[in-house]
């Protein structure tokens, strides 16, 4: 372990990381999650997370969760900074905080052009500066301050939340590489990182450095709890080929030292051979980025991400066909997969 990572270990919070589930689960509409949300605390889960790209919006599942459970923290991981105005983001977070005081974590991020430009028609301009500017706006607005003036990527005539949150709302950044990670911890409440192997995590921790108390480092982990390896890989490859060929993730894995493993999939994707790019993903990388096996085997693999400095583990669970989306089977799988598993 590097000296910086050792320092991170020494200063990291002593508490065990929270575990959370990303909603909605694939194949299950939001209205069908109440039975699950109500039981999650009993299974050891402390968070419900949502994300926003081309499917469900990020905030409706969290509002429903707040209505269904008074014990869960609700968190976005992440909302793109280009697709909503800064004041709308502040208003939405403050409104959620009225439903779940002290239990809201707002994760924002640059996202990718496919989610910003391709489906919303919004230019994907200066993603780092836009993220920094929105973070600065939100930090001030959620404290109840009057915000006015010129930022690098937008100007605000003047805005103040009429009902700022009584309890703080943490604002974290989707962060992959050192620049965004430094911003997340210097000006925000921490970061959420995504799509990396457990063995790659120390490099992120090293870039973060010593973490002040109260900061968050969230790791998003993808899981398909099935012993059918062929099915798990078949499920994971289209998503992984798509996301790993987005520029932020391509550069992330180059920084992590995985460039050689991904060189062939990048070449084929650039040539327009998307099917070939999926096939070119090495099995070893597919297996490490989208965990699979029995729920107990997945649990053991997830524990490898429970490294000093990590404050929360966000699970994206893709239930296999042998886990029907009705109460006993799904709850049993999540119980065996999650933090209360023995």
**DSSP letter at 339?**
T
| Model pLDDT for residues 62-82, shown as the tens digit of each residue | 999 999 999 999 999 999 999
pLDDT at 104 over 80: yes
Task: Indicate the pTM of the whole model.
Answer: 0.93
- 171 phi and psi angles, rounded to 5 deg: -120, 115
Is-contact 111 129, C-beta < 8 A? no
Distances in whole angstroms, Cα of residue 289 to Cα of each of 49, 104, 220, 240: 19, 28, 10, 8
| Model pLDDT for residues 275-307, shown as the tens digit of each residue | 999 999 999 999 999 999 999 999 999 999 999
* Pairing relationship of beta strands 18-22 and 170-174 according to DSSP bridges: unpaired
| Model pLDDT for residues 211-221, shown as the tens digit of each residue | 889 999 999 99
| Model pLDDT for residues 149-200, shown as the tens digit of each residue | 999 999 999 999 999 999 999 999 999 999 999 999 999 999 999 999 999 9
**DSSP letter at 224?**
E
291 pairs with which residues across the strands?
A: 223
Is-contact 19 44, C-beta < 8 A? yes
In the numeric block, which tokens belong to residue 15? 């508490």
Is-contact 151 177, C-beta < 8 A? no
């Amino acid at each position: 372990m590097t000296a910086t990572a050792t320092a991170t270990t020494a200063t990291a919070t002593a508490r065990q990381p929270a575990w959370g589930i990303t909603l909605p689960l694939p194949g299950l509409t939001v209205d069908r999650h109440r039975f699950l949300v109500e039981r999650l605390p009993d299974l050891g889960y402390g968070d419900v997370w949502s994300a926003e790209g081309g499917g469900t919006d990020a905030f409706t599942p969290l509002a429903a969760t707040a209505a269904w459970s008074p014990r869960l923290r609700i968190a976005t991981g992440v909302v793109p900074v280009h697709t909503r105005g800064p004041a709308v983001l502040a208003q939405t977070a403050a409104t959620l905080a009225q439903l779940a005081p002290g239990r809201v974590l707002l994760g924002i991020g640059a996202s990718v052009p496919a989610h910003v430009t391709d489906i919303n028609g919004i230019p994907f301009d200066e993603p780092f500066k836009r993220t920094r500017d929105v973070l600065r706006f939100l930090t001030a607005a959620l404290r109840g301050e009057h915000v006015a003036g010129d930022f690098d990527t937008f100007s605000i005539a003047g805005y103040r939340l009429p009902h700022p949150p009584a309890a703080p709302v943490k604002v974290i950044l989707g962060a992959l590489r050192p620049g965004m990670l430094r911003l997340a911890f210097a000006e925000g409440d921490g970061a959420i990182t995504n799509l990396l192997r457990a063995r790659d995590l120390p490099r992120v921790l090293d870039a973060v450095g010593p973490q002040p108390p109260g900061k968050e480092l969230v790791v998003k982990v993808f899981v398909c709890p099935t012993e059918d390896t062929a099915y798990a890989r078949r499920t994971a490859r289209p998503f992984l080929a798509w996301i790993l060929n987005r520029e932020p993730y391509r550069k992330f894995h180059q920084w992590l030292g995985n460039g050689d493993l991904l060189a062939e999939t990048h070449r084929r994707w650039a040539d327009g051979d998307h099917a070939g790019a999926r096939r070119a993903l090495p099995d070893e990388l597919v297996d490490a980025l989208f965990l699979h096996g029995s729920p107990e085997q997945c649990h053991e693999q997830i524990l490898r991400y429970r490294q000093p400095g990590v404050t929360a583990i966000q699970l994206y669970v893709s239930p296999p066909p042998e886990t029907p989306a009705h109460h006993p089977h799904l709850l049993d799988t999540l119980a065996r997969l999650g933090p209360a598993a023995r």
